[in-house]
């Protein structure tokens, strides 16, 4: 009986690990390595240039589940708090990051635009972009 319970626990833990979604923060290949603090600052547009390269942060649409995860993991702000942040920034003359509709369009944008930084699922990843950071759900 103990063996069966042990096997079930092992199976469940392996299933949980294998079913966890993995995501990446990506950049154009011209971008150097960035810290988590820099990534957060980039998406809040507090950093606009890194090593002489103009940075272009790219978001998915506002209610996209991956964007919600990214904002929770990196920005540490809720949707409503970020909305208020960008309203305030608007009056200071600052615009929010570019928004695209799909992970494929995000990846294509990052590949073609120097300084572009974004996030996608590992499932959408290929070698046309540089990985800056990985995380699991």
For residue 51, being part of any structural domain is answered with: yes
Residue 124: what are its φ and ψ, rounded to 5°? -95, -5
- Identify whether 2 is part of a domain: no
Instruction: Specify the DSSP class assigned to residue 46.
Output: S
CATH assignment at residue 35: 3.40.190.10
Q: Alpha-carbon distance 73 to 40, whole Å? A: 10
72 in a domain, yes or no? yes
Cα(30)–Cα(60) distance, rounded to whole angstroms?
22
Tokens of 23: 């995501």
Q: Which tens digits make up the pLDDT trace of 50-73? A: 989 999 999 999 999 999 999 998
Task: Quote the strand ranges of the chain, DSSP E.
Answer: 22-27, 49-50, 53-54, 56-60, 98-100, 116-121, 130-136
User: Is residue 112 domain-resident?
Assistant: yes
Q: Report if residue 7 sits inside a domain.
A: no
Q: What is the pLDDT of residue 4?
A: 59
2-56 pLDDT, tens per residue? 555 454 455 544 444 445 799 999 999 889 889 999 999 999 999 999 989 999 9
Q: Residue 41 belongs to what domain range?
A: 21-136
Query: Does 93 map to a domain?
Result: yes
> How many C-beta atoms surround the C-beta of residue 111 within 10 A?
15
Neighbouring residues of 42: CB distance < 8 A, sequence distance ≥ 6: 34, 50, 55, 57, 117
* Domain-embedded: residue 132: yes
- Provide the number of structural domains found in the chain: 1
Q: Does the reported pTM lie above 0.85?
A: no
Residue 94 lies in a domain: yes
- How far apart are the C-alpha atoms of 130 and 24, rounded to whole Å? 10
């Amino acid at each position: 009986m103990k063996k069966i319970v042990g096997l079930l626990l092992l199976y469940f833990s392996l299933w949980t690990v294998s079913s966890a979604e993995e995501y990446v923060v990506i950049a154009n290949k011209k971008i150097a390595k960035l810290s988590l603090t820099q990534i957060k600052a980039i998406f809040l547009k507090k950093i606009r240039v890194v090593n002489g390269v103009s940075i272009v942060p790219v978001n998915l649409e506002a209610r996209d589940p991956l964007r919600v995860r990214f904002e929770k993991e990196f920005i540490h702000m809720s949707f409503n708090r970020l909305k208020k942040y960008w309203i305030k920034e608007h009056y200071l003359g600052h615009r929010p990051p570019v928004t695209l509709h799909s992970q494929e369009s995000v990846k294509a944008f990052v590949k073609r635009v120097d300084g572009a930084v974004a996030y996608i699922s590992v499932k959408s990843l290929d070698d046309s972009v540089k990985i800056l950071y990985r995380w699991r759900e």
